[in-house]
Chain A
């Protein structure tokens, strides 16, 4: 788990809300290396929103969180490579809405979680305006649970299981087997 990274991210967002003009300089000084790892689908502002969303969805607990597993980088990559133009636009529009209407970036962490909860619930009530969020959520889960961090720490990943055991006892709290047959229907 990389708590330092997490704190740094939160710090940046706090700074952003109070001193927006300083932000870009601050970011370029401390995030150059990370920025090199980005695929470039999201703008800096969008990328920070994605960091906030994925962190609220999948926070660090006793297992690593979305930021530890570099889920925002994964979203940036697959949004660029794998999504249709229509879905790409939906996501950009959704993020814009979050900035303009929800002022998501200026919210405190608990407020952020609430805002995400609201969008999430709307998204599963077939609210057309929130379809973009279902895509982001699905990609976040894929990004997390197929990452090395997620697979090996939040799940049981055994590369070569060997003998198949058909029926074994299970106790609540034990981690599930990591999915290796990777189709995402």
Chain B
């Protein structure tokens, strides 16, 4: 039988949520994933390996470098997790300008690999486009999404603390990880010296206590290998088991969605065409409601591939904005400092969570030469033996000194909002095909003036805050990100109130095709400077609730 109550395309962070919600609401749901299945725990082959058991002690071979030239640039890409990334050689795309497209084509997608930061957007973010006349207005406000943030946080488990900051709304948190001594020192100094700036524990989907049947964090800092305790949120550890439990889920891995099937007579989408990634056979699956959660650019690619008489320029694209307004956070800037204090203090365990300086620029008034702003992730620890290859030293005494922890260091990394710009877009290159006969995606994006205008402030502010802690030295981090490299690609099928300027309505429903929903990063109207995954999850849960109501009311059939 190829007919279901719902089809979800993609099993990553938002697709897992769509599958869970729709299954729990009683819909027989088909979950299509283009990659292989990854079962929680049993398919984390490196999770329990000791460092010396990893090939080349986790260093990449020259063959890896040739196979994964793009994916290898991710900060944790190694022998211990390369199996969770696509081989660039098998998954080509076109870069009109440099764009690093990071992909994890497997069940769970990049939810296995994410950095786990879970921050809410606020009305400062939802109202900014309207106030400034940039892009289009978000069709929702904080009050629309707040209950869904609550709902998602309660299920996934977010360690964090309520701080009462209007630009970073509080939430439903389990206890945070404690700050280490240098972080506490910096917090005190920064908050004393700079009014309006705060150093807080990052809110992260990492468990400090057992939660919904998952175990708490064991402080190994090896999340990217897949967690055998289920201590960080992923589709594999959380939403998919919940979906399976209902008995309503059918997972079909190795299923590349070619296009959405459009019935001209009924004027509705009826299903999807699928290519089996292994056998190349094609199949059709049908359902009254379809959720696209293939990841921002892959969802848009499917829509661009879904042409018909009604939609000659891509599915539900009467507005002509499908593929446009691609965004990614501007990063790669900040500072590092070293401190000759707290030598009698240490920590035990490797914490996988960071601390955070929420955005403080342009909050109550325009106080910078750019609009919007940036936030910082802050990491503090004592230097390990890696300091040994940064300078001269040989022999017994030097070697023994490297067995001891070195100075306390802190690194702070900025993440800046990226404004929507219609020039930044993706399209299909019909002249080049992948091995499944599908056109390649062509990506054309560069950062604009506003992102570049943040650059110097990101570095200078970082240095001035680290300096408040009286370091021995401070140096710049000045390695500006190539678009895509923050792996927060957003937009290309944006929400909006006006069908003439947007693809999706306020419930992530295609204006032109009410039974098709897009709830991954493609839907974003602006980026804020916070990590976006929590917002995708909340929008997904909200859209599922709405879709099921619409089905019940026979508004979609």
Q: Do A and B come from one complex?
A: yes
**Are A164 and B184 interface neighbours, CB within 8 A?**
no
A120 touches B394 (CB 8 A): yes
Distance, CA A147 to CA B56, complexed state (A)? 11
Cβ of A5 within 8 Å of any chain B Cβ, yes or no, is no
Could you say which of A134, A146, A160 contacts B57, with CB atoms under 8 Å apart? Answer: A146
Contacts A174-B404, A176-B404, A181-B222 given; does A165 touch B80 at CB 8 Å: no
Interface residues on A, range: 35 or more
B388 to chain A, nearest CB (A): 5
Q: Is the beta-carbon distance between A183 and B75 smaller than 8 angstroms?
A: yes
Which of B23-31, B247-255, B290-298, B346-354 forms part of the interface with chain A? B346-354
Complex interface bits, B42-66 against A, C-beta within 8 A gives 1, otherwise 0: 0000000011101011111111000
Query: Contact between B220 and A160 (Cβ–Cβ < 8 Å)?
Result: yes
- The 8 Å CB contact of B219, one of A57, A163, A182, is A163
Contacts of B220 in A (CB 8 A): 159-161, 180
Q: How many whole Å from B311's CB to the nearest CB in chain A?
A: 45
A83 to B65, CA, bound (A): 10
Contact of A116 among B179, B184, B394 (CB under 8 A): B394
- A175 nearest in chain B by CB position: B403
Those 7 A-B pairs whose CB atoms lie nearest each other, nearest first: A166-B178, A161-B349, A170-B346, A176-B405, A182-B58, A164-B349, A138-B389
The proximity string for B residues 217-251 relative to A, scoring 1 for CB distances below 8 Å and 0 otherwise, is 11111100000000000000000000000000000
Q: Does A106 contact B (CB under 8 A)?
A: no
- Known contacts: A182-B57, A183-B78. The answer to whether A61 contacts B400 by CB under 8 A is yes
Confirm or deny: B473 has a beta carbon within 8 angstroms of a beta carbon on chain A.
no
User: What residues of B have a CB within 8 angstroms of the CB of A155 in the complex?
Assistant: 385, 403
A134–B389 CB distance below 8 A: yes
Q: Which residues of A contact B61 (CB under 8 A)?
A: 81-82
Report the Cα distance A61→B403, complex, angstroms.
11
Knowing A82-B62, A141-B389, A142-B59 touch, does A164 contact B177 (C-beta < 8 A)?
yes
B261 within 8 A of A: no
A163-B219, A176-B403, A180-B222 given; name 18 further pairs at CB < 8 Å.
A61-B399, A78-B56, A82-B61, A117-B395, A120-B392, A141-B402, A146-B51, A158-B348, A161-B218, A161-B348, A162-B349, A168-B346, A170-B405, A173-B404, A177-B350, A179-B384, A182-B78, A183-B75
Q: Contact flags (1/0) for B197-230 with A, using CB distance below 8 Å? A: 0000000000000000000011111100000000
Instruction: Report how far A174 CA is from B351 CA in the complex, Å.
Output: 20
Q: Is A121 an interface residue (CB 8 A)?
A: yes
Per the bound structure, the CA–CA distance linking A104 and B421 in Å amounts to 62
Determine whether the beta carbon of B348 is less than 8 Å from that of A164: yes
State whether the Cβ of A2 lies closer than 8 Å to any Cβ in chain B: no
Total inter-chain residue pairs, C-beta < 8 Å:
179
Q: Which residues of B contact A171 (CB under 8 A)?
A: 344
Chain A residue at minimal CB-CB distance from B344: A170
Inter-subunit contact A160/B218 (CB<8 Å): yes
Q: Is the CB of A164 within 8 A of B347?
A: yes
Taken together as a complex, chains A and B put the C-alpha atoms of A57 and B384 apart, in Å, by 17
- Shortest CB-to-CB span from B334 to chain A, Å, is 14
Q: Which residues of A contact B438 (CB under 8 A)?
A: none
- Chain A contacts for B50, CB-based, 8 A: 148, 151, 159
Smallest CB separation, A77 vs chain B (Å):
7
The reply on A154 being an interface residue by CB < 8 A is yes
Measured between C-beta atoms, what is the minimum distance from A51 to chain B in Å?
15
Cβ of B36 under 8 Å from chain A: no
A167 contacts which chain B residues (CB < 8 A)? 178, 180-181, 184, 345-347
Contacts of B406 in A (CB 8 A): 176
Binding site for B on A (CB under 8 A): 56-59, 61-63, 65, 74, 77-78, 81-84, 113, 116-117, 120-121, 123-124, 134, 137-138, 141-143, 145-148, 151, 154-155, 158-185
The answer for the CA separation of A81 and B63 in the assembled complex, in Å, is 8
A143, closest chain B residue (CB)? B57
For residue B58, which residues in chain A have a CB less than 8 angstroms away from its CB? Answer: 146, 182-183
Kindly state whether residue B133 has any CB partner on chain A within 8 Å: no
B164 interface residue (CB < 8 Å to A): no
Residue contact B386 to A179, C-beta cutoff 8 Å: yes
Residue of B with least CB distance to A155: B403
Asked whether, in the complex, the Cβ of B218 is within 8 Å of the Cβ of A162, the reply is yes
Inter-chain contacts of B346 with A (CB < 8 A): 167-170, 174
Instruction: Report B341-400 residues with CB < 8 Å from chain A CB.
Output: 343-351, 382, 384-386, 388-389, 391-396, 399-400
Would A166 and B343 be within 8 Å (CB), given that A62-B400, A141-B385, A183-B75 are in contact?
A: no
Can you sample 30 A-B contacts with CB below 8 Å? Answer: A59-B396, A63-B403, A78-B57, A82-B59, A120-B392, A124-B391, A137-B389, A142-B59, A145-B384, A146-B58, A148-B50, A154-B399, A158-B349, A162-B349, A163-B219, A164-B178, A165-B347, A165-B348, A165-B349, A166-B177, A170-B346, A172-B343, A173-B404, A175-B404, A176-B384, A176-B404, A176-B406, A178-B51, A182-B57, A183-B76
Instruction: Name the contact of A145 in the complex, choosing from B221, B343, B382, B385 (C-beta under 8 A).
Output: B385
Contact between B54 and A182 (Cβ–Cβ < 8 Å)? yes
CB neighbours of A137 from chain B (8 A): 388-389
